[in-house]
Structure 1
Amino acid sequence: MGSRRNLLRWDPAAAPGLLGKGWKLLLEARIDASTETVVLHDADGTKVTFTKQSDGAYSAPEGTPYKLSATTDGYRLTPNNEGPVRNFDRAGRLTTVVSRSGDGLHLAYAIFHMLTHGPSYRATNWPAGGSW
């Protein structure tokens, strides 16, 4: 997959991540999409806004080290040079970190269920992104 990257990052000013306050997994990257822009919230704290052009392509601020493109399943972030390609689903969740040949990490997400007691048992959907 190209260059080796650390999977953890510590920043005392960072918002709590999956591992607690200050700690971030590099897999915690996400995007927020609207009709005009897509904002990448990278796990290293970088925030990049891509603007949708009239032809459907996305432009990025000068010096951005990757390109964003829309796919049928969401979005693809391709580095300008070496490095892994990252794919995100329509909900903005990271789904793959792969080499250009497609080898690498594929992520899956599940909806958690929680049983609640009452007059009867029932399953309740745990919201995606919820915390315990």
Structure 2
Amino acid sequence: MIVEPRVFRDFRTLIAPSGPGDFFDDSKSSTPYANFLAAQHPHLSPGQVSHLQGRRRPDILRRAGSASEWYEIKPASVSGARDATLKLINILNDYTSAGLPYVPGRRYTRDPRDPTHPDDRPER
């Protein structure tokens, strides 16, 4: 099951308001990500934006001054944890190198009543 659209809706509800400082990776294309980075971070050169566009990108970015953060959505599984860790390392390195203010997000937690949440799935 693809849960990103549900998580995006939940994020928009719980961490409102959502606006131009929020990016949701809901496209297969990396162009919306590059457009967001260029608009939100005019200090980035076109080369830096292009480089970041070709790298791993988070599922959610929220630009909010010193509280700027990013989120990655992965299943609660061993492979999900492994994939999230690899992406975490890559994104942290990329954002640090580019001077971007984002840190891994901690303010948003999915609603455990959501049927896609691992703590609320029926036993098998």
Which TM-score tier does this pair reach, normalised by the shorter chain?
A: under 0.3
Larger radius of gyration: 1
The answer to which structure has the higher helix fraction is 2
